[in-house]
Structures are given as structure tokens and as C-alpha cells.
Amino acid sequence: MLLKIMTRAVRVPVLSVIYALMALTFSSALQAAVPGYQRSFENFVGREIAPMVPGVAVVMVDQGKISRVRTWGRRNIDRKARVTPDTVFRLASVSKNFAATAAGLLVEEGLLKWDTLVQTALDDVRFKRDDYGQQLTLRHLLSHSTGLIPQAYTNLIEDNVPYRKVVKRLREVDFVCPPGRCYGYQNVVFSLAGDMIEAISGKDYNTFVQQRLLTPLKMNTASLGYKAFKAEKNRATPHIKIRKRWRPARVLPTYYRISPAAGVNASINDMGQWLLAQLGQRPNVLSGRLLDSLQAPVIRNTRRQSHFRSHKLLGATWYGLGWRVFSFGPYQNFVYHGGWVKGSRAMMVFNRELQMGMVFLTNAETKLARKVVFRFLDLYLKHKA
């Protein structure tokens, strides 16, 4: 009897040791699967950015597969809750590529064309110059090539003027060039694409994106709109710096009123799925032909207009449909977008030919985010050399 008891007493710790060794071996195998340049990038974020902001989340893809998901810090600097892979962040202008992709689904179905005239779908929208207004197309909206003064009436959105009232005032906005001839970044004008989607599909824009993109791609914690963000318990509170200290910032509904331009909320797990889809890994939802259209250069712009820092390897910069496009070093067709709204930053960069990419989210309005994209690409080039 005593022998049996002793045998049982010894067996449990032995099994615990075996399980621990198995877990360690599995963890080591996962770590070995992460490419060296991505481990270096993770170390960079963990060393230079994460200690300086409330919270950060990163997902990376290599060879068409998610290779790393990592989070640091807190959802709210005043509370203990940590950022997790399912913590929801504001995407701000990264939302624009959701709008372009949603429009592309209707193009593939033959219900829209990239060159559908805005006034054909939205007969109540008018512009200061009728001749130019009658030439404006969906393509012009999604590529910021309408020719209108840049950031037309973004200030009114920030002043809490309702979107529909702002749209009525577009007839007061000057053109600086004919449609399709020059680049000028927009938020209100860009959001007319969402109105076109509603008019053609018969569905509310947020509902359309949820049903046709977020749900099929299994972006399970992603949503659109102010109410959805506020209702999410596991959300990243935005932060701004006041007297050299991070403070939680109040979330306002202003930019959520132009949902195609800035209305999406998503976790880093969600963005991993979005990244895979844009890399062509979800052809049942997004076809290669659609991705070709979205990610092709449309209108040439400058580095400054692309909000890029100077870099010796940065080549030509363009805007496609909801995406920025650029060359870097020996490689063409890098696709990128950044988002910045009070207290939050988001960045996404990838290359479909190379089947690699990265998404960076933080709940802080930090200038350190400017380093992220080029550091990631520098490390990739070093890895390939």
C-alpha cells in the first residue's frame, strides 16, 4: 500500500516535467519559425517604442502566413488591463482601404465600375464647377484625384458639423486641377464612395462592410462606428501627452461620421486576417483581379504628400485605390496606409509579390510611429541580402 502511494506521488511531478519540456520544445519551434528580420523588428518595437507608450500590438506575415503576433502594455494607462491580441484599436485612415475594397466587390459583381460617375449614383451631389463635377468618378474618389482643394471641409467634421450638411457645402469648394490630374488627400470627399456603395447595394455602408468583409474574413472583433467601439470592453483607450505624461483622451464621434474614411475598429488578430486577405490568401472573399485593381498605382504624389520620412531607398510614391503604393530598394509594389486620429496610430505595409507584411497599432499619438515602416523594410532587405 505504501509503495503504491509513493509511486503515485512521484508520477505527478515526473509528468509535469515532461509536459513542461514538451511546451518548451513547442515554444522553441515556434520561435525558430519566426524569420530573423521579424525577430529583430519585434525587439526594436519592444525596446524603443513599447516602453514609451501605453500600449502596442503588432502582427507580421512571412511567406503568406502569420508568423508573429505580439502585444505590449496597457489598454488604459490608468488601469491594469493589458493589451491582448483581441484588444480593439481605432484604425483611423487605414479604414480607407476597407471602403475601396468594399466598392471593389460591387465592381466585380458588375453593379459598379471604377469609372462610374459620382453624379450617376448620387444625383443630389453638386460641385462648384459643373463641368468638372460631371467628370468625377468612383476611381477619383478612392485615389484622391478629384482635383478639389485637399482636405476639403475636414475642419467642419472636426467642428462636429453633420456629414450631410458638409456634403451640401461641397458646391462651394474650388478645384485646383481637372479630375484625375493631381493628388489631393480627402476625408469628406472620399466618403462619397460610401454613399455610392449604399445607393447601389441598398444597404447601410457599415452593414455592407460588416457582412461582406469583416464576417467572411473572420475578423471577429472588428466593427464600424463610435457606438461599437464604446461598447467593446476590450478596447484600447486613446492617449495624448499632457505635460510629458500620457493621459487618456476622450473618444469623439466626429470622424466616425465619415465611416469610409475613418470608421473601422479592429484588433491585431483581426488585422492579421485583413493582411492575409490583401496578400491574396483569401481568394474566396477577395480575388486576385480585385487586389490588382486596388493595389495598382493611380496618381503620382510626393514623399511629403505620402507622409513618408526621407529615406535613401524610397523610390516613386503613388496613391492607388484606398492604398499608398511605393518602391523601396530593389523591390516594387509595396502597399501601405497609415492612420492617425486623436490618441491613436495605425500602420500597415505589405508586398503581395514577396508575401510579407506587418501591421502596427498603438493607443498613443506618438511620433515614434514614423520609424516603424522603414525599420521593418530595412530589416527585411538586410535579411534578403
pLDDT tens-digit series, residues 177-228: 999 999 999 999 999 999 999 999 999 999 999 999 999 999 999 999 999 9
Q: What is the mean pLDDT of residues 291-315?
A: 94
Q: Which string of DSSP letters, residue by residue, matches 78-141?
A: TS-PBP-TT-EEE-GGGGHHHHHHHHHHHHHTTS--TT-BHHHH-TT---SSHHHHTT-BHHHH
CA distance 249 to 253: 13
Share of the chain above pLDDT 90, in %: 89
Of the listed ranges 18-27, 142-151, 343-352, the least confidently predicted one is: 18-27
3-state helix, strand, coil in the chain (%, to 5): 45, 20, 35
What is the pLDDT, as a whole number, of residue 26? 38
Q: Tell me: pLDDT of 78 over 60.
A: yes
CA atoms 132, 305, 94, 242: torsion sign: negative
Range name among 6-20, 142-156, 184-198, 211-225 with the lowest pLDDT average: 6-20
Mean pLDDT across the chain: 92
pLDDT exceeds cutoff 90 at 5:
no
Phi-psi region of 35 (alpha: psi -120 to 50; beta: other; left: phi over 0): beta
Which pLDDT belongs to residue 7?
A: 36
When mean pLDDT is compared across 20-34, 74-88, 106-120, 352-366, the lowest value belongs to 20-34
Judge whether residue 115 has pLDDT over 50.
Answer: yes
Is residue 335 within 8 Å of residue 277, measured between CB atoms? Answer: no
Nearest to 102 by CA among 261, 226, 299: 261
Provide the pLDDT for residue 201. 98
**For the chain, what percent of residues have pLDDT higher than 70?**
92
131 pLDDT higher than 70: yes
- What is the CATH code for 36-384? 3.40.710.10
Q: What is the pLDDT of residue 27?
A: 38
Cell output for 359: 501591421
Q: Looking at the predicted structure, is the pLDDT value of residue 31 above 70?
A: no
Q: pLDDT class for 136, splitting at 50, 70, 90?
A: very high
Rounded to whole angstroms, how far apart are CA atoms 83 and 371? 21
Evaluate if residue 32 carries a pLDDT over 70.
no
Asked if residue 297 lies in contact with residue 274, where contact means CB atoms within 8 angstroms, the answer is no
Q: How does pLDDT run across 232-291, given as a tens digit for each residue?
A: 999 999 999 999 999 999 999 999 999 999 999 999 999 999 999 999 999 999 999 999
How much is the pLDDT for 4? 35
